[in-house]
């Protein structure tokens, strides 16, 4: 398809929280966190909003692409922690950046957001520029996709099993129409029902105003998902991220390999020809496990988790910006992005730089 990633950027909150900082508030140690996850610190938004971080990452990506705000025809914000329910996060960022001509909307695919967002943006671009089915659409020559999350808002800071994992940040990419470029070579998106709620969060921001269920009554998410009460108790309201870590670990390590193999098959490109694989940064051990399963050496994976933790929808786009900045990706290189997250969602895509 005729497009190219022409810009990238990331933005992080000022405050860094080290493992030792967390060891002062929950029963954990730097050694445990580093050994089990590869994370040494994360950034936490204290004064910054989701809009601030997303806008800064987007501004940097536009600058990198050499475009003005008026050049952007489409903005998709991938997030699970928008500043408001309405207007959407994308509408807030559109206004902040002055993207006068952009159509803007949000996409929630949790940590797989980057893969879903780039697939949707590039498909809309192809449909509008290629005139699929003779249908006249808004022409989309330049799209901005921004993955942004401030998970610190929905993390239970008393739960050592989750609070050590997550961080805040934003990553962005500009996708530009270019008939000469092959662009996105293949994509693969999948959902698996999370019927046991491995990953869930019922949080809505101002909890004090909600008539939310009493402890012990089924939660909205549990009712909709049709989950069985957890062993030894009933499903109860979960205002924070709740996660069955080992279950997610196994799921992630398995589907990462499946997704990468599938995009390689679809693109007709063996995995050995990919210059760089940029995975969701949830846990360095998951990446190592997948690397072994795929028989691809770790050196070919972009690993950025050490200083930022798991930043959810921002993670792959921030790591992609790191890979571009480190010149690990050169013009013509084939690059694979792969993600997984709540939903459960997962997927991968291959593009030519």
Binding site for ligand ACO (CB under 6 A): 28, 32-33, 36-37, 110-111, 160-161, 164, 199, 243, 245-246, 248-249, 252, 282-283, 286, 310, 312, 341-342
- In the chain, which ranges are continuous DSSP H helix? 19-23, 30-37, 50-65, 89-97, 113-130, 160-163, 220-225, 245-267, 284-294, 315-325
Measured between alpha carbons, how far is 214 from 243 in angstroms, rounded to an integer? 21
Angle, helices 284-294/245-267, rounded to nearest 10 degrees: 40
Smallest distance, ligand ACO to C-beta of residue 311, A: 9
Q: Which is nearer to ligand ACO, 286 or 350 (CB)?
A: 286
Tokens 């089915």 appear where? 133
101 is catalytic: no
43 is catalytic: no
The sign of the torsion formed by the CA atoms of 81, 252, 230, 161 equals negative
8 A C-beta contact, residue 118 and residue 184: yes
Q: Which is nearer to ligand ACO, 282 or 294 (CB)?
A: 282
Complete edge-to-edge strand list for the sheet that includes strand 184-191? 184-191, 345-352, 334-341, 274-279
8 A C-beta contact, residue 170 and residue 99: no
Torsion of CA 338, 341, 344, 348, to 10 degrees: -10
Q: Which is nearer to ligand ACO, 1 or 317 (CB)?
A: 317
Measured between alpha carbons, how far is 212 from 307 in angstroms, rounded to an integer? 36
Q: Which is nearer to ligand ACO, 88 or 108 (CB)?
A: 108
User: Is 27 exposed, middle or buried (CB count within 10 Å of its CB: 0-12, 13-18, 19+)?
Assistant: exposed
Smallest distance, ligand ACO to C-beta of residue 110, A: 4
Q: What does the block give as tokens for 242?
A: 């709740």
Q: Which is nearer to ligand ACO, 177 or 249 (CB)?
A: 249
The sign of the torsion formed by the CA atoms of 193, 195, 196, 201 equals positive
Tokens 């940097």 appear where? 60
19 is catalytic: no
The sign of the torsion formed by the CA atoms of 73, 122, 329, 167 equals positive
Catalytic residue among 3, 111, 114, 201: 111
Q: Give the pairing of strands 184-191 and 334-341.
A: unpaired
Active site amino acids: 111, 280, 310
């Amino acid at each position: 398809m005729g497009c190219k990633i022409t810009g990238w950027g990331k933005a992080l909150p000022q405050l860094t929280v080290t493992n030792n900082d967390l060891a002062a508030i929950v029963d954990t140690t730097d050694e445990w966190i580093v050994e089990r996850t590869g994370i040494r610190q994360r950034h936490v938004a204290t004064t910054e909003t989701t809009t601030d971080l997303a806008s800064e990452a987007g501004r940097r990506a536009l600058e990198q692409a050499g475009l003005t705000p008026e050049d952007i025809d489409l903005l998709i914000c991938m997030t699970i922690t928008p500043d408001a329910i309405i207007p959407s996060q994308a509408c807030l960022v559109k206004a902040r950046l002055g993207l006068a001509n952009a159509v803007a909307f949000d996409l929630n695919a949790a940590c797989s957001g980057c893969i879903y967002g780039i697939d949707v943006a590039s498909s809309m671009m192809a449909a509008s520029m290629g005139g699929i089915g003779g249908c006249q659409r808004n022409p989309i020559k330049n799209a901005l996709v921004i993955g942004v999350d401030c998970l610190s808002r929905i993390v239970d800071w008393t739960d050592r099993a989750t609070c050590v994992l997550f961080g805040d940040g934003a990553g962005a990419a500009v996708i530009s129409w270019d008939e000469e470029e092959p662009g996105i070579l293949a994509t693969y998106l999948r959902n698996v029902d999370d019927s046991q709620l491995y990953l869930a969060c019922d949080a809505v921001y101002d909890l004090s105003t909600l008539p939310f269920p009493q402890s012990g009554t089924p939660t909205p998410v549990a009712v909709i998902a049709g989950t069985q009460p957890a062993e030894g108790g009933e499903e109860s309201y979960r205002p924070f991220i709740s996660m069955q870590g080992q279950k997610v670990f196994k799921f992630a390590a398995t589907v990462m390999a499946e997704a990468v193999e599938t995009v390689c098959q679809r693109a007709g490109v063996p995995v050995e020809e990919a210059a760089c694989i940029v995975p969701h940064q949830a846990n360095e051990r998951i990446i190592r496990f997948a690397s072994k399963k795929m028989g691809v050496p770790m050196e070919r994976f972009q690993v950025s988790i050490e200083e930022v933790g798991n930043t959810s929808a921002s993670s792959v786009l921030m790591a992609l910006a790191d890979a571009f900045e480190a010149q690990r990706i050169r013009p013509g290189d084939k690059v694979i992005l792969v993600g997984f997250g709540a939903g459960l969602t997962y997927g991968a895509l291959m593009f030519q730089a």
